Structure 1
Amino acid sequence: MKVIDIMQKVAVVSLSDTIKYAIHVVNRDKDDIIPVINQEKVYIGCVTKDSLLEAVASGIPLHATLESCQITHLPSCLPEEDPAAIIDRIHETVVVNEQSHILGIVRPSALTTGYTSDLQAFERIYGMFDFAYNGILIIDEHEIIVFANRVVADIVGMAKNELIGRSVTDIIPNSLLPIVLKSGHAQYGQKIVINDIPVVANYSPLIEGGIVRNAISVFQELTSIEHLYNELNSVKQLFAELEAIINSSYDGIFITDGNGVVLRLNDAYERITGIKAKDVIGKSMRQLINEGVYDQSVTLHVMEKKQTITIPQTVKHTHKQILVTGNPVFDEEGNLSRILTNVRDITELNCLQSQLQKTKEQTLKYKAELNHLRSMQIKDTGIIYGSEIMDRVIQLAMKVAHVDTTVLITGESGTGKELIAKLIHEQSKGVNHSFIKINCAAIPEQLLESELFGYEGGAFTGAKKEGKPGLFEMAHNGTLFLDEVGEMPLLLQAKLLRAIQEKEIVRIGSTKPIEVNVKIIAATHRDLEKMVKDGTFREDLYYRLMVVPIQIPPLRERKEDIPLLTKYFVDKLNKRFHFQYRISPELVDKLIEHSWPGNVRELENVLERMMITSSEDELTTSLLPETMRRKVPCPKRGTKLKDAVIQTETYVLEETFKEYQSWPKVAEVLGVDRTTIFRKAGKYGLLK
């Protein structure tokens, strides 16, 4: 067997071809590797599907030439080389001629298939030799015994395994095998005595490539006519067994003579192709092609090339996909005497391979998209997103950052209002100026004023003697972020409005104004417009804060960001906890389906909980909280959006409470602060 026997044709591309064309070739031929040639048509390396996708993911345009891509330098070989020289390679090998022009490609699977078939064939042959009544003895070119069947072992009085590796003259001193090995000429009907047993022996050299590689001796005892009779029965039995073996083969077997006339085929061939033996035996392959039985014939290819050839075929009337391998058999004079064809049904294998390929392509596509989006977005803002709706939010934040005005950020809890506030600060004031944050809902009303505006020494009981500067003073020339501004008391709202308008504050217990240069960014999850109507929020402060409103959409309205956020959080938590978790595609799909009442914060908390409690290497849907694994009832068509949100939130809160029996735990699981959970539970009548 030579490299050319197992080589496959392959499409090639030039360095001057575009990435788009190369991707077209990959999709057309369903091949992961394409050899590349230069202007002189000389092989220089290969491009792979992965390298093409990585090039596109890195921002290289499709119309760019392959010179922009990574070229993988796979090894090459000549067509006449022995496949044994490349059997240990784990990658494909490009077959070139002496001018380095590409002839084809050899895949590791072809090497394995070729050698496995040869090995199995030898094992079957040697196994059948043991059934022969005659003694069969084979030596190599060094006169060492390489095979002896049971008859030989019985005659010489030794076990078969004891014979292998011994010199033939040590076992049978008068054997003519060494003479035949040296002369290369067969000898027949030679009578000799082995271990006091008279035998008649035939000797023949085994020639490969014009060189005598082995010599074989076949002999039988001459003790009685019964031996000859038994030999005939043995041959008949052997023939019957060979017939049974051929017909029991799961693969189809199809045999013609050297002229392509069909001699026989086995039962498996009829089963696979649906073609009956009576319809083709005795006919030539050219005749069968003319009659439309076959569209092409590997037998004719073997007759022309005098070598093993493999081709894929589709059986016309059954539409089955088969792999056909034709093997030439030569007689002693080197003439083509038989063509043995093996047929394998690969319909199911091709379906599985196609499904696997689609899965791999989809995975690579997701990976390329994730890497592309992350590289374009994260490096600029530090915020994980890829959706158009979030892109508009970011663009607005970037614009308002360069204007000295107040900003009001609205959105549900956990949507990332503080991240947007920090982005605005960094783009306007820079990292060298203070970013001061205060949560107006987390500080009691009596302390909030002193935290914001500071106080003089002795201003009230418990005040420090030296006094204390407020957050406005600490944020001078920087940014003051008022989170949950909707929770600020009405009396304090008036003082905040004056500080924003006059750009000065007065400490508690003092009458001296202090000038402050502070960029005000406020945030709330509440409906301030409704609070103004209800009289719980000052109208003048509302319009002062609403100079530039930024509404952050909930996670359920930008679900295309969920794969990006999931990848980011898992990477971050892997690094933090020294884990190495992977994300299953099914989990990503399930995360996308969830309504996420706790938004991004809930997503991060859920992933952290899964990673801490998991004992597997891959995060799957089985690790999700029970409330997320159950399907949330879908609101009926025609339901108003506000009512649909209420139905969904009620269901999620109620089901989560059933599982944990604790509202603080519900807040932790959903990634929402306790105040929000108790407020919503009370609103929906779930507090009992």
Structure 2
Amino acid sequence: MTVTRWLLKTADRIGMIKEVSQIFSHEAVSIISMEVSTGQIFIKFFLEDDPLHTKNNLEELLRKELLKHKDIKSISSIALQPQEQREKELQTVLEFANDGIIGLSTEGAIRYINSAAAQLLRVDKNTIIGKNITSFIGENTLFDELLSGKSFDHQQMLIQTPRGTLHYLCSGRPIQDENEQFVGAVATLKSMKSAKQLVNSMMKNTKFEFKDIIYISSSMEELIKIAHRVAASSYSILIGGESGTGKEMFAQAIHCASPRRLHPFVPINCAALPEALLESELFGYEDGAFSGARKGGKPGLFEAAHTGTLFLDEIGELPLLLQGKLLRVLQEGVFRRLGSHHDIGVDVRIVAATNRNLEQMVLAKQFRQDLYYRMNVIPLQIPPLRQRPEDIPLLLRHFHVKYCTELNRHLDFSPAAVDSLLHYSWPGNVRELQHAVLRAIHLTSNKEIHVEDLLISHETDNSPLHANASQTNLKQVIDHTERFHLEKALKKHGSARGAAREIGLSHTAVLTKMRRYGLEHLLKDH
């Protein structure tokens, strides 16, 4: 018995399918399937073994009978029918998908399962077809709803097996026919471990590292050295500093320099959410924990940050009740979801930040003393910008280049504008400087940015921020900063090559700048 496929080019009229079928029937040839489009009939059929005829003779006899029909124009052999081709392509796509994919009947019987899903469920894909999904995952509310025609997205699913608990991220979609009748369903599975790795890999490039922090001041240099050292530990870190100093940037840099860098960095602002919502966000909740809770419950940020870092910004705004729950996580490494009676173990490093005086809050009984001492194992205090004025020219240049490039504008600061920026007190710190530069580049319609474009209010008499008031144009500021940085690198290494590696310039460029600024005497072999 041989399977053959033909494409018949025919006239486009009613009755062609019936007449073609009659010819096949008359010649005792069994049709397996037919597919029809305008002027085309795709036929898949059996050629029975006949001791009186070879296969080629049978095909030729059938072809001659068909071509006798006045409306059959041509016959050609094909490898697959169009629907078969589409199915093969779809199966290939499904088989090479990274996610597990399962096709289900309306009763939950497995119609299709790809290799990834079979591997995740630890089953043999060749023997599972036709069996009910509940025999592998147990009774499951999500799949009960899916088989009643309701979809769900990115829900966690736990399956108990003899070899332990399997943890997945699962989504499901019902399948409907043209009359919107439920005819089956498709579910996707991803291991929770791979889901977290994927999220982390997508977020990894958005995190700051210590090399992204812009400074030349000795106070920042010393702070970053300490932060580098403590990043290697798993102790809690408390970052203090005024608003706008870059506390979250520091927290991300610590995470990226830590052994947890390949795991999630999960930030939350404790001041941005009301108490009830903050608790559910941190610790998650069980199904039915409160009115409006998501069906099936929801994991919290502690679970999302497992094996990684949880950054609690504005921890001074954390309510006392939640402070107690946070203390328990720090001491015992466990917590409970809202509405649950079961503990969940978690391995999370806490990095917290605040612009408030927590010691005064402890005295006022607004912050738990035991939590304060537990959090304050390694304190880091970021100095405000007014206490490190030598960083202002470098930051100014960085933001100026960054936003001119992004906005495709070619603007310079007038000498008066530079002087204004250098002598401003910057109560909003680096963030305020950043926004001032961006705003000025946006608003300026001329080729030069003037003082009135900056929209900042001065307190020059109370805040003398720059020692050299004669440097009133941006080129002089840049030269001063460049000389300072080069001199620092030469003093540290004593060679042009060492300094070049330190500041990221070529050896030739460093020699040129040394001669320009008269720094040759700093070479050790000079």
Normalised by the shorter chain, which TM-score bucket? 0.3 to 0.5
Q: TM-score, normalised by structure 1?
A: 0.36
> Which protein has greater RCO, CA pairs closer than 8 Å, 6+ apart?
2
TM-score, with normalisation over the residues of structure 2?
A: 0.47
